[in-house]
Structures are given as C-alpha cells and as structure tokens.
Amino acid sequence: MSTLADLAELVRAPAGLSVPGDVLAGAAAAGALGRRTPGLAAASVLLYWAGMAANDWADRGLDAVERPERPIPSGRVSPPAALGVAAGLTAAGVALAAAAGGRRAAAVAVPLAAAVWAYDLAAKNTAAGPAVMAACRGLDVLLGATGGRLSRAVPAAATVAAHTWTVTALSRREVGGTDRALPGATLAGTALVAAAAVGPRPAAAPAALAAGYLARYGGAQVRVLADGSAGRVRAAVGAGITGLPALQGALTARAGAGLLGLAVAAAAPLGRLLARKVSPT
C-alpha cells in the first residue's frame, strides 16, 4: 500500500509551491484579487499535482528503464492507483475552480485540465511539447484573472508561458544531456522573460525580484553551457521550477501589489528547501 510520502513524490508535492503565484499574478494584473483568489489558487495546485501523477502514469514504461527509482516503476505506487490519483485531482481541481470562481473560472479550468492531460498523453514527446506546457501555465495565470478584466492579465500569462517553454525544453534533455545550443537559446529567453517582468518603467520591488529570478535560473543555465551533462540539466530544470515564484512575485508587484509580490517570491527558498527531500522534477 502506498504511503503518503510515496504519493507526495508521485505528484512532486514541493513543486506545487510554484503554482499559486500564477493565479495571484493573474488576479493582480486583472484587478481581481479578492475572496475567490485563494480557492482558485488551490484549484490550480490540484490540477498541477494531477498533471504530475498523469505524467508518471503515462511514462511508467520509460521510467522503468531510465528512472526505476520513481514511485511507479519501484512498485511503491501501482499504475491504477496513479491513474486514479490523477483523475481524482483533476476532477477536484475543476470543481473547486467552479465553486470559487463560477462559470468564468470553469471556462478556463476545463481547457487548462484538458491541456495538462494532452501534454502528458500525447504532446510531451513531440515538437509541440514545450508549447503545450507553456499554454498550461498561461491558462493558469488567466484562471486567476477570471474575476476581473482578463485582457489585462494576458502579458503576465505570456511571460509565465515563455518561462515555462524554457524549462520544458530543458527538461527534455534531463536524461541524455545537451549541447550548447539549447541552453544558449533558453538563457536568452530567460533574460527576455526577466526584462518583461520588470516592464518599461522599472520599480524597485519587481526589478529586485526579477534580478533574483535571473540570477538563480539564468545562473543554472550558464552552468549547463559549460557542462551539458544530464545532472547539470536536471539542476537547471529544478532551478526553473523552484525559481518561478520570484518571477511570479515580480509580475504581482509590477501590477501594484508589492507586499503580495514579496510574499509570493518567498515561496522560492522554501521550495528549494523542500526539493532536497522530494525532487521537483
């Protein structure tokens, strides 16, 4: 029988800290921060965890060869149980989004859930994989904006989506390593993402948070440029996941919620601490 620790590893529980900031950034940009925001943030975490469980269920054959220590190939979580966890979390996430945000939130949560499953079951190992995963994160930002003017959150959604593209592109080289071309491209993308988070009129809080994001995630990619081994790539992917709250915090602060942006960014060091116990990748 699977333990709570096994299930936490299956869904990459610590990586869930990288998710609420999407909703908060979207809500801040759309002027929609309010009572519905915590429920939408919780719904986004459930959908993220569902995607992680579905990912491992879909990859169970490959993981048996490349990552036999993972919960399913190691026998600690059965394939039917993993599929059940993924389906249950998906249903719970969509239901919670609808309960918290009504029809407008459900209208975003349903395609978000569909995109998550499409990535895991069909797109992940294709050329469309990074774009589909980027769409998932962009929709997650828009989920937070459903209580306000959705159009105002589109730039923030595009910024988080671009970051996600870089992380997903790197993740495809976690096992075999990479040459210099890929980290060179993702590093350039990361610099543009950091600049977009600051905006044309830099303010202290967003600029500082964006600089911290660039230093951590960009620094990890610089190390991949010097050494493209699988271990370095996995470290860069982990930095991209655990460093995302700093980017979300910069976007939230840029929208005028400075203290909330700092609180969002505070999830980054906590995520790195928890990642030492449960891998986020």
Spatial CB neighbours of 224, under 8 Å, sequence gap ≥ 6: 170, 178, 183, 232, 233, 236
**Is residue 167 situated within a structural domain?**
yes
The predicted-structure confidence for 52-81, as pLDDT tens digits, reads as follows 999 999 999 999 998 899 999 999 999 999
Taking the C-alpha atoms of 49, 53, 58 and 60 in order, what is their torsion angle to the nearest 10 degrees? 140
In-domain check, residue 163:
yes
Model confidence at 248, pLDDT cuts 50, 70, 90, reads: very high
In a domain, 280, yes or no: no
pTM: 0.93
113 pLDDT above the threshold of 90:
yes
Q: Give me the half-sphere count of Cα atoms (radius 13 Å) on the Cβ side of residue 122.
A: 8
pLDDT single digits (tens) 124-183: 989 999 999 999 999 999 999 999 999 999 999 999 999 999 999 999 999 899 999 999
191 assigned to some structural domain: yes
Residue 202 lies in a domain: yes
- 115 part of a folded domain: yes
Task: List the structure tokens of 205.
Answer: 């809080």
Domain assignment present for 281: no
Domain span including residue 202: 4-275
Question: Does residue 12 belong to any structural domain of this protein?
Answer: yes
Q: Which alpha helices (H) appear in the chain, and where do they start and end?
A: 4-10, 20-30, 36-58, 60-66, 79-118, 129-144, 154-171, 181-198, 204-213, 219-226, 230-242, 244-254, 258-265, 267-275
Split into its structural domains, the chain has a count of 1
| Least trusted range by pLDDT, from 195-199, 205-209, 259-263, 266-270 | 266-270
